[in-house]
Amino acid sequence: MQAARGASLTSSDAEGSGTHTRDRRRARTIFGLVALTAYVVDISAKTWAVHRLSRGDIEVLGDWFVLHLVRNPGAAFSTGTEFTIVFSLVAIVAVGVVLWFARRVGTTGWAVALGLLLAGIGGNLTDRVFRDPGPLRGHVVDLFMVPHWPVFNVADVCIDVAAGLILLQAFRNVRLDGSRVSDEQSREDAA
């Protein structure tokens, strides 16, 4: 069989292309399922926390792990509380960027990482858009309290795990589409 410009296209080339398409389709499905599941878990946990924890804390493991309701207008560690609208706008752009990159996802590792990242950004953005005091100024609901750490939520966990998975893929030299950067190419890029 011949392809454009006279290049031969063997049956193994066609099979490889089909496998690549299936892998990409599978990765996109995983991305969507992870994003949707994690997002629903985050929103559900926050809804439950607002209704149940407004009556008081729940000690799960004594002082080591407490369910405690906090409404956070800022970013991580409650920093930048006066920039809530800026955080909201950045989150909107970040959702678009993740969706843009997700079009090229080709492996399970990247699919899970980007799915968790989208769920985390989307979960906190949902709070900023729909919670009091108003659109783009809403306070994020946090509910998990551990010693010597700010109160956090499921979306925050998703973002942190996603960051770890992204770093792992980078250290393994796995590109977004699933191809690998060869050691020789890595050395050339570093030079």
Catalytic residues: 142, 156
Confirm if 60 and 69 have CB atoms less than 8 A apart.
no
Helices (H) and strands (E) in the chain, counts: 5, 3
Dig out the tokens for 190 from the structure: 């570093």
CA angle centred on 161, ends 160 and 163, rounded to 5°? 65
Q: Is 78 exposed, middle or buried (0-12, 13-18, 19+ CB in 10 A)?
A: middle
Closest C-alpha among 178, 153, 176, 171 to residue 19: 178
Task: Please name the residues in contact with 69: beta carbons below 8 A apart, sequence gap of 6 or more.
Answer: 49, 50, 53, 54, 57, 141, 142, 143
